[in-house]
Amino acid sequence: MVALRNGTGEGGRVPAALRRIGGLAASWLALLLLGIAVPVAPAAAEDGYDLWLRYAPVHESRLAGYRAHATELVVPADTATARATRDELARGLRGLLGQAPATAARARRDGAVVVGTPASSPQLAALKLDLSGLGEEGYLVRSVRIDGRPATVVVANSDVGALYGAFHFLRLIQTAQPLAALDIREAPRTQVRVLNHWDNLDRYVERGYAGESIWDWHRLPDWKDPRYTDYARANASIGINGTVLNNVNTSAQALTPAYLEKTAALAEVFRPFGIKVYLSARFSAPIEIGGLETADPLDPAVRRWWKAKAEEIYRTIPDFGGFLVKANSEGQPGPQDYGRSHADGANMLAEALAPHGGIVMWRAFVYSHEEPDDRAKQAYNEFVPFDGQFHDRVLVQVKNGAIDFQPREPFHPLFGAMPKTPLMMEFQITKEYLGFATHLAYKGTLYEEVLRADTQVRGPGSTVARVIDGTLEAGEPGRSPLTGMAGVANIGVDRNWSGSHFDQANWFAFGRLAWDPYLEAQAIAEEWVKMTFTTDPAFVGPVVAMMMGSREAVVDYMTPLGLHHLMGRGHHYGPGPWVAGGPRADWTSVYYHRADDKGIGFDRSVNGSDAVAQYAPPVAAQFGDIDAVPEEFLLWFHHVPWDHRMASGRTLWDELVLRYGRGVDYVKGMRSTWDGLAGHVDPERHAQVAAFLAIQEKEAQWWRDASIAYFQTFSKRPLPAGQAAPPHSLEYYESLQFPFAPGDGK
């Protein structure tokens, strides 16, 4: 276990590293420290800290073959990134193969692994490999002969590209792939691949379910926790090249000199791994920390203040990435406070950053103080009129759906609607609406569903992925070449980083899809399972199958058939379809489901809010037709009678009830599957996953029962045959309170 590698403490006390790991393992280790004999466990306990970089020994049947392809390690450059690459390969190969290969300045043995650039290695230069089109981050992994001897080369145009290639090489071994006749050529399809940390300076994490923030601001810049290096390693291994350190609902203090010095310390740790730091910038900072009376983006004094602030930042952090901005949304200040547009605000910041190479990621998650007829329409209405007016250093960051990271949403209508403006995908890795850290919900399937959705703005095949990677509108005049994808992080100080072992898969899947939006969620899940647990097919097959249906199960027991925004108020924990009242109608559940005695669902057709008109005509026609819309979006776009006939032949009411039950049954199946795999995984991780699945089943049943109890008051129809009635009254479910549920604001 990683915690043990730091020593055994002093004075007979159990050290903090052991106290943090908790559970049975901590008890046994305490006994060992006291000299009390304990039985040897059949498998070493693990706490999940190593993520998918465990580098567990390969199966004996493959060991000799892999060792023959890694007899010698040659990483000739002596830059910080090259040293990180050399260290990672040595660590990985030692763990996987039971021994670290010899290191050398040049390849001299059969089976050498040579990593670097043509500029750093005469042997690589002599191969005259074609590196065109790889850019600064792409790489080749190829089987070659050097001086007549077989070798494997990992070669790139830069040290960072070589680092990415080294992780790919290790991943081949981790996932039991052959190393003979390699010819791999990869480059990222998006340029900016970032995590958005919703971390406050006091270490509280908004919508975080894995403990407090990993950024120990109080001890920075002098104490650089070794965990920061492991964070950088994990991100580099999946191609993430940036991190926004602070919450979009930010404090202007993040831009003060003291915090810039702390940010610079993190940048120093991350730099060798190709990771830039970004900061969320509070739009009203010129007032709050600059002493100005206005933050009007067209005011010359305000523009000068931001220009000077950018110069100060780059003096401190020369490779600073730029700003993420949430403005004029949920009460945050912004340019509309002064009668200006989103383009005015974003462009002012971009002009300050552009001379230094920085960018602005301007979030399109907006809704005004005035209640709209349909909140789903607002971002489109506010941004489309300014298409082509944003600075070429601006990315407009758009959530995958128009409401707010729901278990399922149709793709956001902005995708494809702004051909002259680069749109950056924003996914949520943290499971704000999918059961926090305790429910198993593999979001790779959600990401894939959205990226493969066809906008049809330029005919069939105009997928969201093509909008994100820039290929759909590549020839559009005036379009910036910037591309990117952001993921709202699920990381905290919990030893397993994400609160749940399986939530690590969502971080992993995000990084892999940010690198290549065309990868398949199932292939990514297989990689992750093999790297995180075991390559044994008897384990991999059932677990991947379990993961692939897990998110659909959550949709079923929470928001089936296109229902959305049904969670408890504020904390978003548990069912709350009855939530009404409060300061805004569009913060309530009843606003979205609109259940009455006639039916249920939000009418967004031409007869309702006409939100369908924001999509390309073929998509609008499909979504707007109650008989053509995919059933998973039926209640998103239509108010449907309770007796409407579904594809199954059942009425809507019966189908709704059965979908709720289907979700619960899937969780029961996951529990059974996982229980049967106990012999394939270490006891500590198996026990936590089993406990969390038990919680998930309990809460899935709660969602099912509470939702049926509520909606039956409108449908006034009996449950389908064989379906159990909720065990409690609706009043019971409505009475439940959770004042200290995690992740909500203080």
Which residues are the active-site residues?
330, 404, 432
On the CB side of 574, CA atoms within 13 Å amount to: 20
Cβ atoms of residues 487 and 446 within 8 Å: no
Give 302's contacts (C-beta < 8 A, 6+ positions apart). 286, 292, 294, 295, 296, 348
Q: If phi over 0 gives left and psi between -120 and 50 gives alpha, with beta otherwise, what is residue 649?
A: left
Identify the bridge partners of residue 396 per DSSP, sorted by sequence position: 362, 423
Angle made by CA atoms 530, 243, 186, in degrees to the nearest 5: 50
At 518, is the secondary structure helix, strand, or coil?
Answer: coil
Beta bridge partners of 249: none
Distance between CA 335 and CA 349 in Å, rounded?
Answer: 11
The DSSP result for 230-257, as a single string, is: HHHHHHHHTT--EEE-S-SS--GGGGSH
Q: How far apart are the first and last CA of the chain?
A: 35
Sign (positive/negative) of CA torsion 203, 570, 360, 353? negative
Which amino acid is it at 708?
I
Whole-number Cα distances in Å, 533 to 8, 525, 526, 696:
27, 12, 10, 21
Q: Given strand 149-155, what is the order of strands in its sheet? A: 102-103, 72-74, 112-116, 149-155, 139-146, 183-186
3-state secondary structure of 724: coil
CA nearest 212: which of 550, 505, 635, 494?
494
Q: Write the DSSP symbol of residue 82.
A: H
The neighbouring-strand residues paired with 154 are 115, 141
Q: CA 524 to CA 54: how far, in whole Å?
A: 17
Token pair listed for 471 = 């290929």
CA–CA dist 261, 222 (Å, integer): 10
Contact 711, 577 (CB under 8 A): yes
Which stretches of 560-611 are assigned E, i.e. beta strand?
A: 599-600
CA–CA distance from 445 to each of 421, 442, 450, 670, 689 (Å)? 27, 7, 9, 17, 20
Q: What are phi and psi of 150, to 5 degrees?
A: -65, 140
What element of type H or E holds 399? strand 394-399
Cβ neighbours around 392 below 10 Å, total: 15
261 burial type by CB count under 10 A (0-12 exposed, 13-18 middle, 19+ buried): middle
Burial class of 474 by CB neighbour count within 10 A (0 to 12, 13 to 18, 19+): exposed
Dihedral (CA of 103, 108, 110, 112) sign: positive
Longest dimension (CA), the chain: 81
- 9-25: buried (b, 16+ CB within 10 Å) or exposed (e) per residue? eeeeeebebbeebeeeb
Q: Residue 607 carries which DSSP code?
A: T
Distances (CA, A) of 424 to 187, 368, 468: 18, 22, 6
| Size of the chain in residues | 746
d(CA 679, CA 265): 44
Helix, strand or coil, per DSSP, at residue 490: coil
